[in-house]
A and B are shown apart, each in its own frame.
Chain A
Amino acid sequence: MAAERRSWRRPTAFRRREFTWAAYLGLAAFFLWSAWGVGADPSRIASGLGRGLTLLGDFFPPEATPRQARRIADKMVESVAMAMVSTVTGIAISVPVAFMAAENLSPKPLYYLNRGFISLSRALNAIIVAILVVKAVGLGPLAGVITITFKTVGFFAKLLAEDLEDIDMGSVDAVRATGASPIQTLVYGVVPQIIPRFAGLSVYRWDINIRTSTIVGIVGAGGIGSVLLTAFNRYAYQYVTAILIAIIAVVLVAEGVSAVVRRRYQ
């Protein structure tokens, strides 16, 4: 029916095909430049691998004296306790922060303030935060709890705020229209819409916090990490392996619990 055949090609994100290729080339160049910059040359990788394998022999079999085993257990309990406490405090702080960081519920200045706080918490790695907090409050699990609480707020408040921004405002309007007070509107119109996600996120964050709590000890913020560091410093590699196995076991259990609970709330 048409005299002239028309051609069609999928439009590209970069508008012109040349730009697409230029972008891919640029990306490849950036990768090569970075690899060269960090000194990742193949011969070094090969020799490192060889040394790594010899070293691996020193790590097995895992071994811990009864005193060391007790120390692992004590510090592991401390890690888990730190994770538990900071999950609760972190979420308690996250809730108001999330409401203030939800664009549809919060006035602009408050919104930016809380978004800023969330970005700060997300920008800093737990270890960096822990170093700063240890400087401020000294060595020990308190520093760990403060660190993990701070990190929890960045994660939890951000995701909760995004959920709050997605709620159906129509049902909130309907609750308001009955003459409900702002608190009641929150309880009946807003909270039911976010409860399932809230529960899922809490457990998920708890499992992340268990992982974090095993590492912040490296810089003195309490938990099993400190034991790991001393073991490494004394070249007690078989002891290190025992510690790592304990960490892996606890993290796996936490992840399993978290997965089961989250599936329940879907």
Chain B
Amino acid sequence: MTLDVTGLRKVYPTGDEALKGVDVSVGGSETTAMIGPSGAGKSTFIRCINRLTEPTEGSIELDGTDLTGLDDDGLREARRDIGMIFQEYNLVERLTVMENVLTGRLGYVSGWQAFRRSFPPDDVERAYEILERVGLGEMEDKRVDELSGGQRQRVGIARAVVQQPTILLVDEPTSSLDPETSNTVMRLLTEIAAEREIPVLINIHEVDLATEYADRIVGLHDGEVVFDGPPDDLHDGALDRVYRGGDPPESDAPPADETAASDSSVGSEPGGERASADGVVSPDGGTTDRPGPGEP
């Protein structure tokens, strides 16, 4: 199963050009991490793939079908094969764990069945199995608002996996979690991808989590892909390009303190790099966290 995105552009009604022609292909059972500073367009990219956000231009081919050309019914059918996991979990708080997980099967049942909560026995069995797989066995009747962040994210994963998707899209799964839980979630995601032999595309802030768990890194800066390669190739210069839009061969040597900051970005202590990556000072004096409007 492959996803081919070509020339993807997104201009929001506000005039923000969030994506400026992005080409990315993922396939096999590869885990791809998309890194980039806040506002780079990572979420926009992922939301454009299943058209939760309508792309402005470009094509998105899932196994040869262009999703951008589908009508409402076609799009719903395509979405059944795309599992999505969100930063804020986006569970329905007042529903039980089981109801949230079974939401992943809505694409296969009628409106009336959905209303009655009467899902086919196979779906229910699968939901139980997946809940056990993510470590939430026996939790099916708990209301989601009684769970911890890590448990909620695992419900989110279960909801996506029960769809039996052919690809998983994951938007910053760890930014609301502590370093320990972040590692568990990342491990779970990559293991599930391997077991089910599906590709996973993960947006992520934490560079060390990305390099640790991903087979491939895509670096996005200001709506453009500025790095695409294996984690081993993600040296300081490349990180510079991703987080500051700098072009190392042509730019002056960065001041010592900035080098130190980017060095710590690839450090191995879990969770430590997020603050430093956010705090890297960009050439115009602002932090990379909020790129100024005129930034290249």
Contact B76 A171 (CB under 8 A): no
Given A188-B103, A193-B92, A193-B93: A177 in contact with B79 (beta carbons within 8 A): yes
Contact B82 A177 (CB under 8 A): yes
Contact B103 A187 (CB under 8 A): no
Contact A184 B111 (CB under 8 A): yes
Contact A180 B107 (CB under 8 A): yes
Which residue of the partner chain, among A173, A181, A183, A195, contacts B90 with CB atoms under 8 Å?
A: A173
B-chain residues with CB within 8 Å of residue A196 when the two chains form the complex: 94
CB-CB contacts of B27-52 with A at 8 A, as 1s and 0s?
00000000000000000000000101
Contact B115 A178 (CB under 8 A): no
Interface residues of B in 40-93 (CB under 8 A from A): 50, 52, 76-80, 82, 84, 86, 88, 90-93
Contact B92 A179 (CB under 8 A): no
Is B95 close to A, CB under 8 A?
yes
Given A178-B79, A178-B106: A184 in contact with B114 (beta carbons within 8 A): yes
Contact A188 B106 (CB under 8 A): yes
Contact B77 A174 (CB under 8 A): no
Is A37 close to B, CB under 8 A?
no
Is A130 close to B, CB under 8 A?
no
Instruction: State A168–B88 Cα separation when bound (angstroms).
Output: 11
Instruction: State A264–B141 Cα separation when bound (angstroms).
Output: 20
Interface residues of B in 95-115 (CB under 8 A from A): 95, 99, 103-107, 111, 114-115
Instruction: State A170–B85 Cα separation when bound (angstroms).
Output: 11
A-chain residues with CB within 8 Å of residue B52 when the two chains form the complex: 173, 176-177
A-chain residues with CB within 8 Å of residue B84 when the two chains form the complex: 174, 177-178
Interface residues of A in 158-172 (CB under 8 A from B): 168, 170-171
Contact A174 B106 (CB under 8 A): no
Contact A171 B91 (CB under 8 A): yes
Instruction: State A184–B107 Cα separation when bound (angstroms).
Output: 9
Contact A188 B107 (CB under 8 A): no
Interface residues of A in 188-233 (CB under 8 A from B): 188-189, 192-193, 195-196
Write the nearest CB–CB distance from B160 to chain A, whole angstroms. 8
A-chain residues with CB within 8 Å of residue B99 when the two chains form the complex: 188
Which residue of the partner chain, among A178, A188, A192, contacts B163 with CB atoms under 8 Å?
A: A178
Is B159 close to A, CB under 8 A?
yes
Contact A178 B94 (CB under 8 A): no
CB-CB contacts of A22-65 with B at 8 A, as 1s and 0s?
00000000000000000000000000000000000000000000
On chain A, the number of residues with a Cβ less than 8 Å from chain B's Cβ atoms is: 21
CB-CB contacts of A141-166 with B at 8 A, as 1s and 0s?
00000000000000000000000000
Given A171-B90, A173-B52, A193-B92: A179 in contact with B159 (beta carbons within 8 A): no
Instruction: State A189–B115 Cα separation when bound (angstroms).
Output: 12
Is A175 close to B, CB under 8 A?
yes
Contact A179 B106 (CB under 8 A): yes
Q: From A177, which residue of chain B is reached at the shortest CB distance?
A: B84
Contact B163 A187 (CB under 8 A): no
Contact B103 A178 (CB under 8 A): yes
Contact A178 B104 (CB under 8 A): yes
Instruction: State A172–B50 Cα separation when bound (angstroms).
Output: 14
Contact A187 B79 (CB under 8 A): no
Write the nearest CB–CB distance from A48 to chain B, whole angstroms. 54
What are 12 A-to-B residue pairs whose CB atoms are below 8 Å?
A168-B90, A171-B91, A174-B84, A175-B92, A179-B79, A179-B107, A180-B76, A180-B106, A184-B114, A192-B94, A192-B95, A193-B93
Query: 8 closest A-B pairs (Cβ-Cβ)?
Result: A179-B107, A179-B80, A174-B90, A179-B79, A180-B106, A170-B90, A183-B111, A177-B84
Which positions in B face A, CB cutoff 8 Å? 50, 52, 76-80, 82, 84, 86, 88, 90-95, 99, 103-107, 111, 114-115, 156, 159, 163
Which positions in A face B, CB cutoff 8 Å? 168, 170-171, 173-181, 183-184, 187-189, 192-193, 195-196
Query: Contacts A176-B79, A195-B94 given; 20 further ones with Cβ under 8 A?
Result: A170-B86, A171-B90, A171-B91, A173-B52, A174-B91, A174-B103, A174-B159, A177-B50, A177-B52, A177-B79, A178-B79, A178-B105, A178-B106, A179-B79, A179-B80, A179-B106, A180-B76, A180-B106, A187-B114, A196-B94
